[in-house]
Amino acid sequence: MSRPLRTVTVNGSYSTPSKTGALIELITDQIASTREIEVRRIEVSTLGPGLTSALAREDLSAEVRAEVAAVEDADLVIAGTPVFRGSYTGLFKHFFDFVDQYALANKPVMLVATGGSDRHALVIEHELRPLFGFFQAATVPVGIYASAGDFDRTTLLAPETYARIEIAVRDIVPVLDALTAAPATAAVPSGPGRPEGAGATALH
Ligand SMILES: Cc1cc2nc3c(=O)[nH]c(=O)nc-3n(C[C@H](O)[C@H](O)[C@H](O)COP(=O)(O)O)c2cc1C
């Protein structure tokens, strides 16, 4: 007996339409071709002062707090951002600054980025992976990067990126199988540096 995969996507783009958003959609489509999923899409640029004026979690608007909680409760997080000045966007980081320190522990997180050129493709390894390493997240080994030249507006043209999406999703099929077979409320085991009761859905 399996249940839908609760997937939350976070797009750090400030643009509409967004190439990063288009890339994230291709990933959710690929996952949807393998199983039933529920997708909640978070666009940080639309969250407004409820996010941007907050300096502490209690300052967040109720709407933004609910979005942060959705990330914490997800089975799978797809975290995508355009490259801004060699890193993730400021609002992307500001949003994740309010996610509980232990809520992503062991949670699968797919890393996605787009940039103006291929020269910043390693932003996934040098910026995004360390951030989610802090959270003790189970980042998916294959990151997905595309540059502006790979798109016609928001249509991805690069066959190698489609292939990479397939590989990234195929690699985590056993994890997704385990997540959707497990009860939704299972808690991650506590460990050193991770207080009792804190954490996300257990993978193992
Ligand atoms: C303020 C700003 C800074 C940027 N810095 C970089 C950069 O350092 N490296 C890069 O490859 N592209 C950079 N870009 C280009 C964007 O990353 C690129 O256009 C991206 O695909 C936009 O994604 P979006 O359509 O999802 O917003 C920058 C764009 C802006 C607006």
Which atom of ligand 1 sits closest to the CA of residue 80? 26
Q: Residue range 56-68: average pLDDT?
A: 98
Measured in Å, residue 93 CA sits from the centre of ligand 1 at 15
Q: What is the pLDDT of residues 66-83, one digit of tens each?
A: 999 999 999 999 999 999
Domains of the chain: 5-181 (3.40.50.360)
Q: What is the pLDDT of residues 100-125, one digit of tens each?
A: 999 999 999 999 999 999 999 999 99
Instruction: Check: CB of residue 83 under 8 Å from CB of residue 115.
Output: yes
Give the burial string for 108-138 (b: 16+ CB within 10 Å, else e).
bbbbbbbbeeeebbebbeebbbebbeebbbb
Q: What is the pLDDT of residues 139-174, one digit of tens each?
A: 999 999 999 999 999 999 999 999 999 999 999 999
Which atom of ligand 1 sits closest to the CA of residue 15? 27
Give the whole-angstrom CA distance, residue 184 versus residue 202: 10
Question: Nearest C-alpha to atom 19 of ligand 1 is from which residue?
Answer: 116
- In this structure, of 2-11, 47-56, 177-186, the range with the lowest mean pLDDT score is 177-186
Question: Nearest C-alpha to atom 3 of ligand 1 is from which residue?
Answer: 84
**Statement: residue 130 has pLDDT above 80:** yes
Q: Is the CB of 84 under 6 A from ligand 1?
A: yes
Q: Is the CB of 114 under 6 A from ligand 1?
A: yes
Q: What integer pLDDT is reported at residue 192 of this predicted model?
A: 58
Which atom of ligand 1 sits closest to the CA of residue 119? 11
Give me the DSSP letters along 141-203.
SS-EEEEGGGEETTEE--HHHHHHHHHHHHHTHHHHHHHHHS-TT--PPPBTTB-TT-S----
Q: What integer pLDDT is reported at residue 39 of this predicted model?
A: 98
Q: What integer pLDDT is reported at residue 55 of this predicted model?
A: 98
**Statement: residue 200 has pLDDT above 50:** no
Q: What integer pLDDT is reported at residue 188 of this predicted model?
A: 54
Give the whole-angstrom CA distance, residue 88 versus residue 90: 7
- In this structure, of 53-57, 131-135, 172-176, 178-182, the range with the lowest mean pLDDT score is 178-182
Q: Ligand 1 test: best mutation among 9, 18, 42, 83, most atoms within 8 Å of CB?
A: 83
Q: What integer pLDDT is reported at residue 183 of this predicted model?
A: 72
**Statement: residue 60 has pLDDT above 80:** yes
- In this structure, of 34-38, 57-61, 176-180, 185-189, the range with the lowest mean pLDDT score is 185-189
Q: Is the CB of 13 under 6 A from ligand 1?
A: yes
**Statement: residue 132 has pLDDT above 70:** yes
Q: What integer pLDDT is reported at residue 34 of this predicted model?
A: 94
Q: What integer pLDDT is reported at residue 196 of this predicted model?
A: 60
Q: Report the percent of the chain where pLDDT is more than 70.
A: 89
